[in-house]
Amino acid sequence: MEKVAQWHQWLRHTREFAPSAKEQQMDVTRRLRTTELAAIADQKWKDSESFLDAPAKQQPEPALQVKDPGGHAGQTEPESKQGVRNAVEDMDKILAAAEGKRVDEGRFRGPTKEKLKEESPWGKPARGNPDENYAPKPWTPGAAARR
């Protein structure tokens, strides 16, 4: 018979009484049951899919370009074509453009050829520090408190 842990405990004097035959049989049954349960758990583990395995079904390709470019889109029409009219616009504008009058409202519905002259924030004189004109008041001692 194989030496069990209970015998080792008794031989090393950490256990007061030697293990009985019934206790030894229960220990052998416990170990057999533990190995059976471990084999079942191992089989379940092998049967389940792992996240490390390659997927069985085909995955969609990742998107390489954004469908809506948002603020990264370029200008929709070039500068040279901004004066071109179509039949959807007002007939007066089309006729005026045909006569050579300047009616170019461009892409932004305003004159595009003339640049608006805005004052540059860099051209303004510096306002200075808010405390630049500060001067401390002279010190005037207060009356001493009576004791």
3-state secondary structure at position 16 = coil
Q: What is the pLDDT of residues 97-110, one digit of tens each?
A: 767 676 556 555 55
pLDDT given for residue 60 in this prediction = 74
- Asked whether 96 and 83 are in contact (CB, 8 A), the reply is no
Distance between the two ends of the chain, CA-based, in angstroms?
102
Interior/surface letters 48-67, b for 16+ CB within 10 angstroms, e for the rest? eeeeeeeeeeeeeeeeeeee
Query: Rounded distance, CA 80 to CA 112, Å?
Result: 11
- Asked whether 37 and 68 are in contact (CB, 8 A), the reply is no
Read off the pTM. Answer: 0.34
pLDDT given for residue 139 in this prediction = 86
Cα distances (Å, whole numbers) of residue 98 to 5, 54, 86, 125, 145 = 108, 66, 12, 47, 94
Q: What is the pLDDT of residues 49-77, one digit of tens each?
A: 877 777 777 777 777 776 666 666 665 65
Query: Rounded distance, CA 89 to CA 104, Å?
Result: 12
- In order along the chain (147 residues), what is the average pLDDT of each group of 10 residues? 81 91 92 96 89 73 69 60 59 72 59 58 67 82 83
